[in-house]
Amino acid sequence: MKKILIVSTSPRANSNSEALALAFAQGAKEAGHEVDFVSLRGKTVNFCRGCLACQETRRCVICDDADEICRKALTSDVLVFATPIYYYEMSGQLKTLLDRLNPLFPSDYAFTDVYLMTSAAEDDAAVPQRAISGLEGWIECFQRARLAGTVFMGGVTAAGEYRDRPALEQARLMGRKA
């Protein structure tokens, strides 16, 4: 059994990227894994100040919701991030969270596998490439970690358009194999 942390970064309720995250969670639970699902909606995650105090203290000096997410990530075997694609890139919410996970860098983190779930209005397969590349840059800072998989659901704009999309089953099956 693995401990899996799933973070949905969409600001919208009933979002398409969150539907992918929930499908991944369903598959992971079916496989018997422990799943912790966190949505950034309604949470406060401020920008990193670049002070690097976290490199010594292993905690951020900013007191907001990122601290709890960072503590959960530290002890999780698998990290899953879900983001809408805005202007061919990950959401600002995800980028801000990744920056705030800086206390993990000098820590004895548990995660080895990282997954990315994305959705966008445009449906070209190349749409999520910059978001994937951005996450790969973050992952490269963690020697034991790797990008284990991605799922992209294109052609969805309004909240809830995810219904009956093949990417949902792909995300569920990926969760089962996590």
Q: Tokens 């693995």 correspond to what residue?
A: 2
Q: Give me the pLDDT at residue 164, please.
A: 86
- pLDDT, one tens digit per residue, over 100-123 is 999 999 999 999 999 999 999 999
Amino acid at 112: T
pTM above 0.75, yes or no: yes
Q: 6-43 pLDDT, tens per residue? A: 999 999 999 999 999 999 999 999 999 999 999 999 99
Q: Does residue 160 register a pLDDT over 90?
A: no
For residue 128, what pLDDT band results from cuts at 50, 70 and 90?
Answer: very high
Cα–Cα distance measured from residue 39 to residue 19, given in angstroms and rounded to the nearest whole number: 12
Task: Quote the mean pLDDT of the chain.
Answer: 97
Q: Does residue 58 register a pLDDT over 90?
A: yes
Complete DSSP assignment for 26-73: HHHHHTT-EEEEEE-TT---PPP----THHHHSS-SS-SHHHHHHHHH
- Distance between CA atoms of 66 and 62, rounded to whole angstroms? 9
What residues does each domain of the chain span? 3-177
Pick 3-177's CATH classification: 3.40.50.360, 3.30.1360.80, 3.40.50.300, 3.30.1360.120: 3.40.50.360
Report which DSSP code applies to 164. T
